[in-house]
Structure 1
């Protein structure tokens, strides 16, 4: 088996990038400048010190987006399917880092979990100091037919994002990285093997509420509806048996700093299990949980 893949980023479809920027800013995140993909989508990313990031994803140019769909673009096809079934806000994909997307694609095909053709593209990225660079990526997609509302892909950074992103990685809410990505399914164990195949992780934990796949830098937790309620006071989003993305747990150095910032900005939140919870809202497609990690 290949080396275990680390978490790279999380894709969060949004109806409006401007609204997402405003919402994330009020939550205390530093949001990078808007950037456009050559296939019609756009993002406004939130980068963290642990080198993971959030990708709020909007549709910038409908004509280009529609053309990419006709050409069989795996990324926009999955995005369209998610928006059709789940709406324009949510969590559609977990992205894992890789040094060889071609090898991953071949492996996904051999394991019968390929999510479509590979995709290679580049996009400009504007830094806070006004400089601009070009980032290039190769993507290999994986999907489980039992889970039409969620997919995974690996991302090889052919021309990496700038290594020094300190200005973008510093957040007023104190977040330093991502601890957990939380998915849900009525039968979490049904997707354990799929997650292991994609992530190349042999570290899997099972408990009464679900399963956790341990990546090198984060956990992907698949919880039952009872688990969602116990840990996050959250109801399962749908009655079907598929896999859905529902929450992200962030690492902070001092939870008091996070709470003070949320309170100062009038953000509604609750506390549970030594975490601060902020429910999903327009521009924030998943529940955000903050926990202290020192």
Structure 2
């Protein structure tokens, strides 16, 4: 059976205060979707930051419910930040079946939909099917698979242009005590997954035209991002989101205009987690 997972579709930050987080990301120069409210039973809502091939999501709890108890516990024990990666698949049901035949367990197969406020004031419906990898298969964070059934109401053209010129996910970085062994465990989750260690960073390729996952020890990550508080990121989750921009100068202008503190790195501009809802955000040239 062919491995069904093609790459990274999107990732999400679970945040303490959804609208405050959205305001932070707007200040960084991103165009955000209108707030999408989920069902009353879920008690959650989100904003998306869309790019041509992938996207980033802010997810927050509006009202405590039984269905969001796990999300609330995660915020209480691990803090806000980059907690989850969603993978590209064609069919959630077929992916679960194929992965089972490959000896990779999954859980939580299901479908859902939610209303989507569109930029022109109208409303559409976004429909998805998802299935998750089991915690036993994950060294850290959450990784699940997402089948989009209504792409036109998610990838809305008006949402793809950003003042900071962001155009895609470049990489997701995480702290690991054992980067190489954890990378090998992650790599099997993607059809084209492979591991490449270099200069203290262990890169997991996730597929063509897909952001890699990069693992490093806490000391190596701190050396890469000096003077930034890594402890303010999600514990046991993912640490850094690297975003591609067409113009690093435009990104810098947005940060300066909003008086956001940033640091120049070897590859771009890094924003401290306190300015981006628990995510260390780095802008790098596309």
Task: Give the TM interval when normalised to the shorter protein.
Answer: 0.7 to 0.9
Q: CA 1:237–1:109 in 2, change beyond 3 Å: closer, same or farther?
A: farther
Q: Specify the SS of the correspondent of 2:169.
A: strand
Residue 44 (structure 1) shift: 1.1
Q: Deviation string for 1:44-97 (max 9, x for gaps)?
A: 111113x311111111232xx31x26xxxxxx63x344223212x111111111
The whole-number CA distance in structure 2 between the counterparts of 1:281 and 1:48 is 23
Distance 1:265 1:235, change over 3 A: closer
1:203 to 2:194 alignment: yes
Residue of structure 2 equivalent to 1:26: 27
- Go from structure 1 to structure 2 and tell me whether the alpha carbon gap of 1:116 and 1:82 turns closer, same or farther (over 3 Å shift): farther
Alignment partners' CA distance in 1, 2:100 and 2:51: 32
CA shift digits 1:141-200 (9 cap, x unpaired): 013338686110000012324376221111111111110011111111222233122222
Q: Is 1:42 the equivalent of 2:34? A: no
Secondary structure at the aligned position of 2:238 is classed as strand
- 8 A Cα contact 2:44 2:63, kept in partner: yes
Aligned to 1:10: 11
Residues 1:175 and 2:177 are matched in the alignment: no
The aligned residue for residue 73 of structure 1 is none
Q: TM-score, normalised by structure 1?
A: 0.85
Deviation string for 1:270-290 (max 9, x for gaps)? 101031000112652210101
- The aligned counterpart of 2:244 is 251
162-171 or 178-187: bigger deviation: 162-171
1:78-121: per-residue Cα shift (whole Å, max 9, x none)?
A: x344223212x111111111102123323555667546321310
Residue 57 of structure 1 corresponds to 59
Cα separation, 1, equivalents of 2:101 and 2:231: 32
> Which residue number in structure 2 is paired with residue 137 of structure 1?
128
Residues 242-279 of structure 1 deviation map (CA, whole Å, 9 limit, x = unaligned): 95300111111111111111101111101010310001
The answer to whether the 8 A contact 1:86-1:149 is kept is no
Number of residue equivalences: 278
Pick which of 200-209 and 133-142 moved more.
Answer: 200-209
> What pairs with 1:1-294 in structure 2 (closer than 5 Å)?
1-38=2-39, 39-49=42-52, 51-62=53-64, 65-66=65-66, 68=67, 77=70, 79-87=71-79, 89-109=80-100, 114=105, 116-145=107-136, 150-162=141-153, 165-215=156-206, 216=208, 217-233=210-226, 237=231, 243-281=236-274, 284-293=277-286
Q: 1:147 to 1:204 in 2, by over 3 A?
A: closer
Q: Distance in 2 between matches of 1:148 and 1:209?
A: 18
Q: Please provide the CA RMSD for this pair.
A: 2.4
Contact 2:174–2:240 (CA under 8 A) maintained in structure 1: yes
Equivalent pair of 1:101/1:139 in contact (CA under 8 Å): yes
Residues 148, 227 of structure 1: alpha-carbon distance in 2 compared, 3 angstrom cutoff: closer
Identify unmatched segments of 5+ residues in structure 1.
70-75
- Cα pair 2:15 2:75 within 8 Å, conserved: no
